[in-house]
A and B are shown apart, each in its own frame.
Chain A
Amino acid sequence: METQSYTPVPPGVGMEENFLSLDDILLSHERLPCRTESAFPRLGFLEKSADTRDIPEGTKMEMPLWLAKGLYERKRRTLSVDPPKTYRQGWRTVLGADPNVVDLHKMGPYFYGMGSQLLHFDSPENAEIAQTVLQTFIGRFRRTMDASQNALDADTSALVAPLDALERALFRAGQAGLAAYQRWEGGASGRIEASGLVVNYRKRKLGELQA
């Protein structure tokens, strides 16, 4: 396998978020439909539809996940969070019927991550959401693995397009493994190679010169 000295901070597993992971920061930037259950004085300028000084109680607005998580409390209700459309009954039925036909990248792109994060908020649908997320992953995993292990030197963009961020990472890992195996079989694994970082850097510089 290509020795890569840079490995980014991995995203958290399950309901946990990794504080320094770039992926988790982008995941927690996804927006959720929320309803305020108490007024937020002096923050009216954040809500563009109304021209008031305060955000009144009962306003429906979209908030990023990190803010919803920060403001949400079980005891003192300041906020209630609805699951986004893609986790509600309608889509759950679709995913239950055949998870393979759905484009999770369009729905997500952090479908699994978001699904797990939703469990932080009390909702009667939580159990079903968790079940759906898990079953969707199981249903799609076989296909993802099969594709990543067998597409050698082929254009994979069509295969990758409908995959969620987590599945993409798995797909890449599978491809790297496949490539490393092929190199070993061809007896080229002992060959010293130019660092990927250096090669990519030079390519970019060349592009800038031509532009």
Chain B
Amino acid sequence: MFCEKAIELVRELHRMGDGQLPAFNEDGIRQVLEEMKALYQQNQSDVNEAKSEGRSELIPTIKFRHCCLCRNQRCIAAYLYDRLLRIRALRWEYGSVLPTAIRFHMCAEEVEWFNQYKKSLATYMRSLGGEEGLDITQDVKPPKSLYIEVRCLKDHGEFEIDDGTVILLKKNSQHFLPRWKCEQLIRQGVLEHVIS
């Protein structure tokens, strides 16, 4: 049957329902596009035949192939769109720099899109809140205090805070840090928020 390859692409994303980004399936996309090309050419020749020789019994077949073309188109559009949603989410979860392993899962156009999205978001955030701008990825949850107690989950190296003090983020060490400085590190899983 036609369109089996296309549904495979969709299944691949559906299986990872939690928003992980699987590697871009370039090979799958290419196969679907080839199938579409073949379908289109067959249809083209059948349409010409139906027109010139008046063979109207070919019409159901033409329609059949046309449905398959539309279906392939839908699957690919949904595949690419869902990937964009996932990539957009990465900006909010990981911050503006992605781990290399994840970047390898994106195709060149997706990397380009991610960079454009980053730019748009940064421009928007600069336009907010007067001179300084406002980082809207911060304080996703309403803050209750300026400083919070955090615990290091892995070695992260040196870390400078507002007053110029440099602290060493060593595994299992505990610190009392300004909240806005470490929120991102907590989301990335370097630090853990400790509530006593």
In angstroms, how far is the closest chain A Cβ from the Cβ of B60? 5
In angstroms, how far is the closest chain A Cβ from the Cβ of B125? 16
* In the complex, B111 has a CB within 8 A of chain A: no
A25 pairs with B193, CB closer than 8 A: no
B187 pairs with A20, CB closer than 8 A: no
Please report the C-alpha to C-alpha distance between residue A21 and residue B74 in the assembled complex, in whole angstroms.
Answer: 10
- Scoring A residues 183 to 211 as 1 if CB is less than 8 Å from chain B, else 0, what string do you get? 00001111111111111111011000000
B17 pairs with A8, CB closer than 8 A: yes
Summarize B's interface: helix, strand, loop or mixed.
Answer: helix
B101 pairs with A205, CB closer than 8 A: yes
B78 pairs with A42, CB closer than 8 A: no
- Scoring B residues 85 to 111 as 1 if CB is less than 8 Å from chain A, else 0, what string do you get? 110111011100000011000000000
Kindly list chain A residues whose C-beta atoms are within 8 Å of the C-beta of B141: 3, 189-190, 192
Partner of A188, one of B75, B81, B195: B195
Contacting residues of chain A (157-200) with chain B, CB-CB under 8 angstroms: 187-200
Across the interface, name the chain B residue whose C-beta is closest to A42: B61
B74 pairs with A19, CB closer than 8 A: yes
Segment at the A interface, from B62-70, B126-134, B165-173: B62-70
A39 pairs with B82, CB closer than 8 A: no
Kindly list chain A residues whose C-beta atoms are within 8 Å of the C-beta of B148: 192
Across the interface, name the chain B residue whose C-beta is closest to A46: B1
Count the A-B residue pairs with Cβ separation under 8 angstroms: how many? 136
Please report the C-alpha to C-alpha distance between residue A198 and residue B192 in the assembled complex, in whole angstroms.
Answer: 13
Partner of A5, one of B14, B93, B186: B93
A194 pairs with B86, CB closer than 8 A: no
Partner of B193, one of A191, A196, A201, A204: A191
A200 pairs with B63, CB closer than 8 A: no
Contacting residues of chain A (121-153) with chain B, CB-CB under 8 angstroms: none
Count the A residues whose beta carbon is within 8 Å of the partner chain — how many?
A: 46
B85 pairs with A6, CB closer than 8 A: yes
* In the complex, A26 has a CB within 8 A of chain B: yes
A25 pairs with B75, CB closer than 8 A: yes
Partner of A23, one of B14, B64, B74, B142: B14
- Scoring A residues 15 to 51 as 1 if CB is less than 8 Å from chain B, else 0, what string do you get? 0000111110110010000000011111100100000
Please report the C-alpha to C-alpha distance between residue A154 and residue B58 in the assembled complex, in whole angstroms.
Answer: 59
* In the complex, B19 has a CB within 8 A of chain A: yes
Could you list which residues of chain B lie within 8 angstroms of chain A, going by C-beta atoms? 1-3, 7, 10-11, 13-14, 17-20, 42, 46, 57-58, 60-61, 63-64, 66-68, 70-71, 74-75, 77-78, 81-82, 85-86, 88-90, 92-94, 101-102, 140-142, 144, 148, 183, 186-189, 192-193, 195
Known A64-B3, A71-B60, A198-B94; 15 more pairs at CB < 8 Å = A3-B140, A21-B78, A41-B57, A43-B61, A43-B64, A191-B193, A192-B148, A192-B186, A195-B93, A195-B188, A195-B189, A196-B18, A199-B189, A200-B20, A202-B189
A-B contact pairs, 22 of them (CB 8 A): A4-B19, A5-B88, A8-B82, A9-B78, A20-B82, A21-B78, A25-B78, A42-B58, A46-B2, A64-B1, A64-B3, A71-B60, A78-B63, A190-B141, A190-B142, A190-B144, A193-B187, A195-B94, A196-B18, A197-B89, A198-B187, A201-B102
| A-B interface, 5 closest residue pairs, ranked by CB to CB distance from nearest | A70-B67, A6-B19, A6-B89, A5-B89, A5-B92
